[in-house]
Amino acid sequence: MKDIYSNPLSERYPSKQMLYLFSSQNKFTTWRKLWVALAEAEQELGLPISDIQISELKAYVDDINFEVAKQKEKEVRHDVMSHVYAYGVQCPNAKGIIHLGATSCYVGDNTDLIIMYDGLRLVKDKLINIIAFLSDFAMKYKDLPTLAYTHFQAAQPTTVGKRATLWINDLLLDIADIDHLLKDYRLLGSKGTTGTQASFLELFDGDHQKCRKLDELIAQKMGFSACVDVSGQTYSRKIDSKIINVLAGIAQSAHKFSNDIRLLQHLKEIEEPFESEQIGSSAMAYKRNPMRCERMAGLANYLLSNTLNPAITVSTQWLERTLDDSANRRLSLAEGFLTCDSILELYLNVSANLVVYPKMIEKHLVDELPFMASENILMHAVKKGGDRQVLHEAIRRHSQAAGKRVKEEGLNNDLLSRILNDPVFDLDQVDLEQIMDVNKFVGRAPEQTVEFINEVIKPILRTYEDVLGMVGDIKI
């Protein structure tokens, strides 16, 4: 048999944990757990369902007879009814009460919500671990001065550690978005064909309170606090859109980080990890291409574009239910989570193994700092009795000459020697060295880093210390 196409999102990039969440085994096991929860709730509310029937259902929750379901689906063209049939084959005593009163979205929608809930928790755990790695990095390099950039033009210096706090802060915003989703996360429950629970009202002989209690019991049995208040047959697809948008927010943060590292790698200041046998280019053997960060960026672009899928889906639903969402959701929801997970696996790996080159960082500072120090030099010379306007003109003239030397002749920046040799400044070498102390140019960057890590990040890491210890798994 010839090879057929395989999706890179299952073959190359995601973790085993996320792959399992969206696996057929997990999906259909969750369907069966929901059928057990429904039967138990209906029994508790007075329907004639026996303990023997429920025990039989529980015995086969994890033992999915996939081939039976697959063959039945070819006949009936309905995935839920195929699995109702397959479950009934294994549970002959209970087959008559499986899916009693429910519609397909009872298992379909509730399972999607459960899987995405578990996916969000896994994503959050990975964000916590990335923050832990970046926090260690920030504290290690909190005092290492480096050029900062605006418009990718050299600007007032910061520190390497302070720059890392910007990456961390973006991830904190993403965690806040996840927490907002999880705080009031609800299942669909069992709302019936058009969301009216008419079938259950019939089963419970017109008892409205039992219909309400049914949703409460299903939520509790599945580990949730509540079900949505109202719905059609499906839960509002706006929930899908909100969730994928949060994942896209993570993609934004990761993309920004990957861009920064790629720029810094070009400057030879900071690099992503590069293994001893890794090949950077098929043509240029010397190259150390930032393939991890480039892959992060590419996957982030894909996830950002995926936000359009649930947005279109929710916009085009008809009244209480239409099925044109189904095929799209099978792809877009799973791929949204698998893509986000793939990005975070890379982010874990890179953030834990960043390589810093302090000498290159210092070299770039030395090249640019004289221009940035010109105002400090001017103020120092004025304090010594110099004429501010005369000094300003002298610095302007010397700066232009030094800049021309650098840009047109490719020579070193000699602005400081020009100033030192100009008697109008009345400066000696000692004066100049004191003015040029780079630590005077980074402002509160070291203190801001320490304050942010100690006051904001460490309490969070202590709260979630049980999830720490993850390592990014780069398969290829």
Read off the pLDDT of residues 46-72 as tens digits, 9 standing for 90 and up: 999 999 999 999 999 999 999 999 999
The answer to whether residue 28 sits within a structural domain is yes
Give the pLDDT confidence score for residue 263 in this predicted structure.
96
Q: Does 283 score more than 50 pLDDT?
A: no
Q: What is the pTM of this model?
A: 0.90
**In sequence order, what are the residues at sequence separation of 6 or more whose Cβ sits closer than 8 angstroms to the Cβ of residue 27?**
111, 115
Report the share of the chain in percent with pLDDT over 70.
97
Domain holding 430: CATH number?
A: 1.10.40.30
**Token duo for residue 448:** 């801001």
What number is the average pLDDT over the span 221-231? 95
Q: Of the residues 6, 151, 276, 282, which is catalytic?
A: 151
281 catalytic residue (yes or no): yes
What's the CATH number where 36 sits?
1.10.275.10
User: Within a domain: residue 167?
Assistant: no
Question: Within 10 A of 305 (CB to CB), how many other CB atoms are there?
Answer: 11
Domain boundary residue, one of 62, 90, 118? 90
- Which of 24, 55, 281, 326 is the catalytic position? 281
Q: How many CB atoms lie within 10 A of CB 442?
A: 20
Q: What single-letter amino acid sits at 65? A: N
- The DSSP string of 440-458 is GSSTTHHHHHHHHIIIIIH
Is the pLDDT assigned to residue 184 strictly greater than 60? yes
Q: Answer yes or no: is 368 within a domain.
A: no
pLDDT value at residue 275: 61
393: pLDDT strictly greater than 50: yes
Residue 124 has pLDDT above 50, yes or no: yes
Q: For residue 467, what is the DSSP state? A: G
Number of folded domains that form the chain: 2
Structure tokens at 132: 């832990």
Under a CB-based contact definition with an 8 Å cutoff, are residues 204 and 46 in contact? yes
Confidence (pLDDT) at 386:
84
Distance of CA 349 to the CA centre of its chain: 14
Q: Which of 42, 63, 90 is the last residue of a domain?
A: 90
Beta bridge partners of residue 227, listed in sequence order: 187
180 vs 474, higher pLDDT: 180
Angle, alpha carbons 124-350-457 (nearest 5°): 45
Q: What is the mean pLDDT of the chain?
A: 91
Q: Region 357-385: what's the mean pLDDT?
A: 85
Q: Within a 13 Å sphere around the CA of 199, how many CA atoms are in the beta-carbon half?
A: 14
Q: Is residue 150 part of a domain?
A: no
The four Cα atoms 156, 159, 163, 165 give a dihedral, to 10 degrees, of -130
22 vs 115: CA distance, rounded Å: 7
**b or e along 197-235 (b: 16 or more beta carbons within 10 Å of the residue's beta carbon)?**
bebbbebbeeeeebbeebbebbbebbebeebbeebbbbb
Domain assignment present for residue 85? The answer is yes
Distance in angstroms (rounded) separating the CA atoms of residues 271 and 278: 14
Cβ partners under 8 Å of residue 196, min gap 6 = none
Residue 52 falls inside a structural domain = yes
Tokens 């000094």 -> residue: 391
Mean pLDDT of 147-162: 92
Do the beta carbons of residue 154 and residue 368 sit within 8 Å? yes
pLDDT at 181: 96
User: Is the pLDDT score of 374 beyond 80?
Assistant: no
Q: Quote the domain boundaries for residue 418.
A: 374-435
Residue 35 placed within a domain: yes
Band of the pLDDT at 404, cuts 50, 70, 90?
confident
Final residue in a domain of this structure, among 61, 90, 119: 90
How large is the C-alpha radius of gyration of the chain?
31
The reply to whether 445 falls in a domain is: no
151 is catalytic: yes
What spatial distance separates the first Cα and last Cα of the chain, rounded to whole Å?
A: 26
* Other residues' Cβ atoms within 10 Å of the Cβ of residue 58: 16
Across 7-16, 57-66, 115-124, 418-427, least confident range: 418-427
Cβ atoms within 10 Å, residue 372: 17
Contacts of 459 (CB under 8 A, 6+ apart): none
Q: Specify the 3-state DSSP secondary structure of 369.
A: helix
* pLDDT confidence of residue 2: 64
